[in-house]
Structure 1
């Protein structure tokens, strides 16, 4: 019986060194999207697997560096049409994973043993063969090393974010300074340049006009003015109205067309002189006797432009000249106009007055 016990003890003592020399083989799997070689870290559990692997590397970095703990990388691909293409993509995927371990785990290419396969799926495995049975002190050292590595990584990320924000703030301040300098130079240039001779309301182009005095007498009036140069313009205005009341016993009807040529004066071209021609017809019956006929004439005009907005201005104008009116007198008897004679009148004096609202179309 004692011989059996002794034999068991000897066998147990022989097995203890072997057990102490056994090695732990840990495998980490990283998934890839079929037909793609990009390493999506947050995808399909890759982030958690990478954190586990980095922690393992941090606890065994010295052993990995001296070659006692090998890092075995195997790339797999079956999503390509040929074996050569599968092997090429498997190689690229392995390199993507190794790049992350080099950048974030502090490894080098010499620490890896890499193989690629055109079979089994679309993933990369990393196997680390670690001696089994670490002591509590070693485990504590590994844990502290992992925590320190994570703290360093977070500190580096924080510094990178702070540097990025500082660079963005500096770039924003530079842009503001450049914009302020441009605005200052533009203001200085504008102050140094002579004042524009073309104020608001007197710009060259086409203008729409409406004589407010005509409209006040219930006579619609519209006109156009075209600036053919910085001093000269061509314009034409027209009025028309037709009113009757007291069962057509009273009558007020008129139409006129008045072309005009103007010459603008002064540095700001607000004052002007012009020549106007006028032609039209009328029918007035404000009493028992009415008058209807034609008129023709013209004269010299003058005025002043007062801008009241970016595109609006008031045109104060007056014309002096000659008018000739040929008319017939009539009375209305039983609804019929009865001619009472005719007359011709010549007029020398004011032939036009206006307070015209002017709108610069372009």
Structure 2
């Protein structure tokens, strides 16, 4: 059996993405409306991503977002992670524009260290490394703006619960493990500013 470190170094992107695409593609082809989105905030953290949103019925959609970052930035800096996040949404107006509320889930892994985040978020990340697995869910609120026949912008935020199982290392490059911990987090959980293309 692989160790925790081996699991996180061999990100299971192909094993997760292929079943996801096989499950989503038939539904996407039969849906009346399909949107493809890219979260610019994930891009800013060097996490390429894509979201597929499909119409289920009057005012309701289902979507799944997938982000994957394989990057090690040199000098012990790591931003490696993947996350899969499905969500069901209810729009207050038809045509899937304007305000919406959602129920979302997420799961993923991360290998982060040696990085300074803005606004002094997670200060210890600058001189330590963390390997983590996480899963959770919560409620979202957002708004969609139409920019033409096919293009739009979307902003959303979320609050919820996150279960995090992590290992802490004394420095970004050394192998000295200082702590194994499980954390139960409740609070802000999601932020998205996305470009939307509607087929």
The TM-score range, normalised by the shorter chain, is 0.7 to 0.9
Which one of the candidate residues 42, 56, 61 is aligned to 1:228? 56
Is the counterpart of residue 341 in structure 1 residue 179 in structure 2?
A: yes
Is the counterpart of residue 300 in structure 1 residue 139 in structure 2?
A: yes
Which one of the candidate residues 151, 156, 159 is aligned to 1:317? 156
Please report the TM-score for the alignment, with normalisation by the length of structure 1. 0.41
Tell me the equivalent position of 1:209.
37
Alpha-carbon offset, residue 230 of structure 1: 2.5
1:153-232 to structure 2, matched below 5 A, reads 204-232=32-60
Q: Between Structure 1 and Structure 2, how many residues are aligned?
A: 157
Tell me the equivalent position of 1:27.
none
The DSSP-based 3-state class of the residue aligned with 2:71 is strand
d(CA) in 2 for partners of 1:288, 1:352: 25
Which one of the candidate residues 285, 290, 312 is aligned to 2:129? 290
1:1-362 to structure 2, matched below 5 A, reads 204-247=32-75, 249-266=76-93, 269=96, 270-286=98-114, 287-331=126-170, 337-361=175-199
Please report the TM-score for the alignment, with normalisation by the length of structure 2. 0.72
5+ residue gaps, structure 1: 1-202
Alpha-carbon offset, residue 332 of structure 1: 5.9
* Larger RCO of the pair (alpha carbons < 8 Å, separation 6+): 2
d(CA) in 2 for partners of 1:318, 1:246: 32
Q: Report the CA distance shift for 1:204/1:265 in structure 2 as closer, same or farther (over 3 A).
A: farther
Tell me the equivalent position of 1:49.
none
Tell me the equivalent position of 1:47.
none
The DSSP-based 3-state class of the residue aligned with 2:57 is coil
Q: Report the CA distance shift for 1:260/1:328 in structure 2 as closer, same or farther (over 3 A).
A: same
Alpha-carbon offset, residue 258 of structure 1: 0.2
Contact 2:58 2:94 in 1 (8 A): no
Alpha-carbon offset, residue 331 of structure 1: 4.0
Contact 2:85 2:104 in 1 (8 A): yes
**Which of the two has higher C-alpha Rg?**
1
The DSSP-based 3-state class of the residue aligned with 1:337 is coil
Alpha-carbon offset, residue 216 of structure 1: 1.8
d(CA) in 2 for partners of 1:225, 1:250: 33
d(CA) in 1 for partners of 2:197, 2:95: 18
Contact 1:204 1:230 in 2 (8 A): no
More strand by share: 2
The DSSP-based 3-state class of the residue aligned with 1:213 is helix
d(CA) in 2 for partners of 1:228, 1:352: 23
The DSSP-based 3-state class of the residue aligned with 1:228 is strand
Alpha-carbon offset, residue 204 of structure 1: 4.8
